[in-house]
Structure 1
C-alpha cells in the first residue's frame, strides 16, 4: 500500500472528524502495528505492508468475519476459493463479490473508493496461507505486484494454480452511468467502454511484466495472469491473459 505520508494526529477529535480516506486509515493501522513501513517510492511516498504472516492472517481473518454476513455465505466461500485455485475461473467469485460484498457498502463509500476496495474483496476471499505464499505490493520489475498467490514449496504437488492479479478502478462519474445502469450491462458491454477498456489494457500490461519477473524469481512455469477492473461498487470486469 502506498500513501503520500503518514498521518500524525489520532486524538479523539481527530478520529471523529478527520476524513476517513486511505492515507488516514492506513496510518491508523500503522500506529496500531497492523502495517509496517517498508520503504519509500521515487516520489518519497510511504510504502506500508502487513509485516508478517501472523499479522496478515489476523487482519484478513477479521475482514473475513465482517464481510460475509450470513452462515450460507461463510460456507460458500471455501468452495468458491477452491474453484478458483483448481480452474482459474473467476466467474463464480466475481458474481459473489457483486451480489454479496458490494451491496454491504453504502453510497458514502464511493467518495473514497479506489482499487484497494476491490483488491480487499479478492484478498479476503482467496486468502489461504496454508497453501499459498501471498505476495501483495511487493516490488517487482520497477513496480509493485497487486496480488499474487504462489503455492508453497511443500504444496506444489497439489492441484492448485499460481495466480497473479492486477487491479484497477473506474468510478461511475468517469463513465457517466448510474449504478443501476452499470448493473444492467453485461461484462462484455462494460469491457467495451473506452475508460474500462483502457484500464484493462494497463492492468494486463502490468500483469504480464510482473508475471515474467515473478516466474523467474520463483521458477514458475504456468503462472495464471488476470487483469481486474472494479466499476464503481457495482461490477467487476476481468480478463484472463
Structure 2
C-alpha cells in the first residue's frame, strides 16, 4: 500500500475523540502511527509528513484497524462480509458500493474533503476487501511499467476454488469539481449522476487504465486468470458510480 502524507500528527485520542472526532485520513493515520502500525517515512516536497506501512505482515493489521474503527458494530461487519463475498464469488460490486455509501461515507465529515483523493476511497475498499487467505493483495502494484489501483490475484494454492481475480480502478471527483453540494448529490438519481461531465471524464480515464492493466495481467498470468475488472468513481463522500469493464 502506498504511503500516507499528512500535514501534522493528531495527538488527542481520548474516549470522546474516539467516539465523536471526525475520523479523516489525518486522524486515522496519526492513530496508526502511535500504535506503531505506520512508521515515519520522510517529508514530501510540499512539507507533508510521510507515514509508511513498515512491512507486508503489518498491512493486514492496518486494514483491520481501520475497519474496526469504522465498523464497531458486529451486524455491520456481517453485512460487509456478505458484500465482499458477492464480489469474490460472483463479480457483483453493487452490494459493496451500497454498503460503503451507507456506512463508510457517513463517518467522514466535510472537513475531510480538503485532502481527499483516490487514496481515501481506495483505503475504504481495501479495508473491507483485504483477504490474504484467498488473495495476493496488491495496491498500486507494478505490472511491467504500469500501475493499478487495487489488484487481487487468487493465490496459486487457492486456484482450485471458485473465486475471481479482481482489478479495480478508482477515481475521485470533489464537490467543487462536480459543482454540487452534498445534499444535491444525495438526492440526484443515478442517471443524472452518471451524466455529470466530471464523472464521465473520470470514467474515460478509468477505462483507459483498466484496458492497459487488464492486458498486462493476462500476459503475466495467462489462462489461469479469472479476471473481472471494475471502475469506481467517487463523487465526494456522497455517491459512487461503478461499472464492470469488459
| Interval of TM-score (by shorter of Structure 1 and Structure 2) | 0.7 to 0.9
Structure 1: state its 5+ residue gaps.
Answer: 13-19, 38-46
Aligned twin of 2:193: 190
Report the 3-state secondary structure (helix = DSSP H, G, I; strand = E; otherwise coil) of the residue aligned with 1:122. helix
CA distance in 2, matches of 1:152, 1:224: 16
Aligned twin of 2:241: 237
Counterparts in 2 of 1:100-119, with a 5 A limit?
100-119=103-122
- Pick which of 57-66 and 135-144 moved more: 135-144
Report the 3-state secondary structure (helix = DSSP H, G, I; strand = E; otherwise coil) of the residue aligned with 2:64. helix
Aligned twin of 1:44: none
Aligned twin of 2:95: 92
Conserved? CA contact 2:113–2:236, under 8 Å: yes
Structure 2: state its 5+ residue gaps.
Answer: 12-23, 42-49
Residue 173 (structure 1) aligned to one of 164, 176, 179: 176
Q: TM-score, normalised by structure 1?
A: 0.81
Cα deviations by residue, 1:157-208 (Å, 9 ceiling, x for unpaired):
2111100001110001111111111111233321211110010110111011
Distance 1:174 1:54, change over 3 A: same
Distance 1:143 1:238, change over 3 A: same
Distance 1:59 1:155, change over 3 A: same
Residue 134 (structure 1) aligned to one of 134, 137, 141: 137
Give the superposition deviation at 1:151.
0.5
Conserved? CA contact 2:165–2:225, under 8 Å: no
CA distance in 1, matches of 2:88, 2:117: 26
Distance 1:155 1:21, change over 3 A: closer
Report the 3-state secondary structure (helix = DSSP H, G, I; strand = E; otherwise coil) of the residue aligned with 1:89. coil
Give the superposition deviation at 1:10.
7.1
Report the 3-state secondary structure (helix = DSSP H, G, I; strand = E; otherwise coil) of the residue aligned with 1:158. coil
Report the 3-state secondary structure (helix = DSSP H, G, I; strand = E; otherwise coil) of the residue aligned with 1:160. coil
How many pairs align? 224
Q: TM-score, normalised by structure 2?
A: 0.79
TM-align CA RMSD? 3.1
Report the 3-state secondary structure (helix = DSSP H, G, I; strand = E; otherwise coil) of the residue aligned with 2:136. strand
Distance 1:125 1:6, change over 3 A: closer
Report the 3-state secondary structure (helix = DSSP H, G, I; strand = E; otherwise coil) of the residue aligned with 2:163. coil
Give the superposition deviation at 1:60.
0.7
Report the 3-state secondary structure (helix = DSSP H, G, I; strand = E; otherwise coil) of the residue aligned with 1:202. helix
